[in-house]
């Protein structure tokens, strides 16, 4: 069994995919647009959504993250959900934290804690909450 996060960016999925490619080295496994859906599904979508991302799968490290534009209903909300990245070094943790924080908001600056040599929390420019850490061995 595994758990895969599914993030709905409400109209900004392609922008998010491009951001994560640069920020955390995400690779794209698949992108399906609404225009590529079967005719019976297309009949149910709103006009102008053809180019929007119906479903995508990106890989961050060893994890798959699903991404969509959802219903393009406005601002995405990720309240109560936090994604965690375990870095392999302090330098990698700092680099990932800085990249995720571009255009976002630091909620806890990077520092040493009792459980990690580097730990910090940040909300990226889409409002996705991240914990970045290099755990103590």
Please check whether residue 105 lies inside any domain of the structure: yes
Please check whether residue 121 lies inside any domain of the structure: yes
The domain that holds 114 is classified in CATH as: 3.30.720.110
Please provide the average confidence, as pLDDT, over all residues in the chain.
95
What is the tally of structural domains in the chain? 2
Q: Give the model's pLDDT for residue 45.
A: 83
Together in a domain, 63 and 96:
no
Residue numbers of the domain that contains 23: 6-68
Angle of helix 90-101 versus helix 13-24 axis, rounded to 10: 150
Together in a domain, 91 and 56:
no
For 3-56, what is each residue's pLDDT tens digit?
Answer: 999 999 999 999 999 999 999 999 999 999 999 999 888 788 888 888 999 999
Alpha-carbon torsion (57, 64, 117, 115), positive or negative: positive
- Global pTM reads 0.94
Strand order in the sheet with 116-123: 82-86, 129-135, 116-123, 105-111
Please check whether residue 74 lies inside any domain of the structure: no
Please check whether residue 75 lies inside any domain of the structure: no
The residue count of the chain comes to: 137
């Amino acid at each position: 069994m595994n758990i895969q996060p599914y993030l709905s960016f409400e109209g900004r999925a392609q922008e998010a995919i491009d951001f994560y490619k640069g920020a955390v080295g995400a690779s794209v496994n698949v992108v399906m647009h609404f225009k590529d859906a079967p005719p019976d599904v297309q009949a149910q979508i709103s006009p102008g959504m053809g180019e929007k991302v119906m479903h995508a799968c990106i890989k961050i490290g060893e994890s798959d993250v699903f991404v969509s534009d959802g219903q393009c209903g406005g601002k995405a909300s990720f309240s109560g959900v936090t994604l965690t990245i375990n870095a392999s070094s302090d330098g990698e943790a700092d680099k990932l934290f800085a990249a995720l924080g571009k255009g976002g908001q630091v909620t806890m600056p990077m520092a040493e804690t009792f459980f990690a040599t580097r730990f910090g929390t940040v909300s990226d420019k889409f409002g996705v909450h991240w914990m970045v850490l290099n755990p103590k061995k």
